[in-house]
Amino acid sequence: MEKRLICLGVCITVTAFILAFALIYTGIVPLAPTGNRPLATIFLESTFNAEKWWIWAGSPEVVTSILWDYRGIDTVYETTVFFLAIIGAITVVRTMKLLPETSGKGRGLTVIAKTITKITFATIPIIAFSIAVHGHLTPGGGFQAGSAFAVAPLLVIAALSLRLLVERGWGKERLLALRTTGLILIGIIAIIVPILAILRHSIAYIMQNQAKLWAPAGLSAVVDLLGVKSLLSGTLFWLNLSEFLAVSAGLSLVFVLLAAPTKNFDKEVKTQ
Amino acid sequence: MIWDIVGWIGVALIVLGAIMDLIASIGMHRFRNFYLRLHAATVGMIGGAFYPLIGLGLLSLSLEYLGITRYYIAGISFVSALFVLLTAPVGSHVLARAAHRAGIKPEPINVDRLQEDIGKGVMEE
Amino acid sequence: MIKDIVWIYYYASLILITFMSIYGIAVRPNLLKKIIMLSILSDTANMLAVLLGYHILSPKPPVYPGGTFSTTQFPSQEQLSTFAKYAVDPIPQVLVVTAIVIGLAVLVFLSFVAVLIYRRYGTLDMRVVSKKARHEVK
């Protein structure tokens, strides 16, 4: 048995190296590339180029501007796919009622773990909100911020208890409502520029951010915010905030549902 | 001059972190039971995450071409290092307690205070 | 020469991890381990996509000219072309962000299906589960 496994490992390793050689020397993948492809150069040069205002996105962060501006509709559908996965998860546990009385004893771990969890729990939402707000300036964005935020309820479930979380109002219905609110906000921001364009008797596309040559409507990139000229990059800032709301509520919902005790509905599944 | 020295200290801390990670992974592989492996994991957490983060902060402080960005990088590194320092011991504490409650006894054992406390009724279960 | 060896090592290690995760999906009977291996496989594919857009040209990391929260100054054309020369390809990274979200959706759904299977059959061993399911049909 041992000899067979070692033989298999050696064979797989040798095959991997041969495949890597083949991939490189047939030119399918680049070996130590010495420059960017033309498309990448176009994106890198034009996202924050105020002189090419007809193709710019108004954001110095190239990944966010491709994600929410140039390929915006794709990202909206991707968020919808995640929403559908959460809906499927809720369907699996649809007969379960999440009440404080039925969500565990609520004892938690030791005092050491509880104290450190409280300190960490206070900082996680701040960091997540910071990532979401700076999503159009630095690497990060709505999804990353939401994933960071969802660590907070996970920590509370692990160290304190699920019961505390449910007592404080992190129930199933409220989180689902927040998730839906985030998705609706994304939809509204997607059609806000066309609505503005209709009011001004011009044309615009869905998910349009900055003004184009043939569609001269758009939100301005630099906004006067309480007397300070701030770079909000048009719709990108608001899209990041809505995605942050949607993803943080959705992932928290997933964690709460996965942690819920199942005594009250185990029988039901078995008799189905 | 002084910043050069700070930068080299940072590089040394990063290299030290890599060595610590190597030692921790060897330990994870070779130690006999859960508690000994937990010891190796803690070496990996403190030595392999705390030291490189401090080193990264010092290194970024010494790179002047980064402009004002280097203070952001250094601040984030130091705060992350502080949180790793806070959470790593708690993680190993919780893991050890869970293993003890699950019935895994430390094998080369002289004294088991946790078991004594449970027997006296100081701690539940 | 050293550079060639390093790049072959990158690709070979990614292909090796792909093989290992496919082995895990196919051979391991535990559903939880299958799901873990599936997530490792998707992460390896994302890593390969990021590696395709990667290159080292400048000795120091490129910093985007301009771009703080209260900026109103836009970068000049020379700064932008220098940045475009030294920065890595952003398009694979965008695709990877999308792929990570989709992978997370798949992971969430698969974990709930695993929970359901465990509640119904009391085990995650797929051999036992398939035997029990066949028995139920009969």
Contacts of C101 in chain A (CB under 8 A): 78-79, 81-82, 143
CA atoms within 13 A on the CB side of A149: 27
**What pLDDT is stored for residue A132 in this prediction?**
92
In a domain, C73, yes or no: no
Record: contact A112-B93, CB cut-off 8 A:
yes
In a domain, C126, yes or no: yes
Q: Cβ neighbours of residue B25 under 8 Å, at least 6 residues apart?
A: B40, B44
In contact, C85 and A34? CB cutoff 8 Å: no
Question: In this structure, what DSSP letter does residue B47 have?
Answer: I
Residue predicted with more confidence, A32 or C54 = C54
**What pLDDT is stored for residue C68 in this prediction?**
60
In angstroms, the CA A163 to CA A172 distance is 13
In angstroms, the CA B97 to CA B91 distance is 10
In angstroms, the CA A77 to CA A73 distance is 6
In a domain, C50, yes or no: yes
Show which subunits contact C, needing at least 3 CB pairs below 8 angstroms.
A, B
In angstroms, the CA C8 to CA C1 distance is 11
Enter the tokens of residue A97: 């009622």
In a domain, C94, yes or no: yes
Record: contact B86-A159, CB cut-off 8 A:
no
- Span C64-78, average pLDDT: 70
Record: contact A63-C90, CB cut-off 8 A:
yes
Residue A150 has pLDDT above 60, yes or no: yes
Record: contact B97-A120, CB cut-off 8 A:
no
For A205, left (φ over 0), alpha (ψ -120 to 50), or beta?
Answer: beta
Residue B77 has pLDDT above 70, yes or no: yes
Task: Please spell the DSSP secondary structure of A74-137, one letter per residue.
Answer: HHHHHHHHHHHHHHHHHHHTTT----GGGS-----S-HHHHHHHHHHHHHHHHHHHHHHHTTTT
In angstroms, the CA A268 to CA A95 distance is 8
% of chain A exceeding 70 in pLDDT: 94
In angstroms, the CA A263 to CA A96 distance is 10
For chain A, the average pLDDT equals 85
Record: contact A36-C66, CB cut-off 8 A:
no
CATH number at C55 reads: 1.10.287.3510
> pLDDT tens across B37-69, in order?
888 988 988 889 999 999 999 999 998 877 777
**Residue A119 at interface with chain B, using a CB cutoff of 8 Å:** yes
Q: Which domain holds residue C36?
A: 2-60+83-137
Interface test with B, best of A115, A116, A119 (most B CBs within 10 A): A116
Residue predicted with more confidence, C129 or A105 = C129
3-state helix, strand, coil in chain C (%, to 5): 75, 0, 25
CA atoms within 13 A on the CB side of B29: 6
Contacts of A35 in chain C (CB under 8 A): 55, 57, 85
In angstroms, the CA C47 to CA C45 distance is 5
Record: contact A109-B87, CB cut-off 8 A:
no
Residue A64 has pLDDT above 60, yes or no: yes
In contact, A271 and A262? CB cutoff 8 Å: no
Residue A268 has pLDDT above 70, yes or no: no
ipTM score of complex: 0.84
Q: In chain C, how many domains are there? A: 1
**Sign of dihedral through CA atoms A52, A56, A62, A63?**
negative
For chain C, the average pLDDT equals 85
> pLDDT tens across A104-143, in order?
777 778 888 889 999 999 999 999 999 999 888 888 888 9
- Span A169-183, average pLDDT: 89
Contacts of C3 in chain A (CB under 8 A): 32
- Mean pLDDT lowest among A20-24, A235-239, B75-79, B116-120: B116-120
pTM score? 0.86
Residue A174 has pLDDT above 60, yes or no: yes
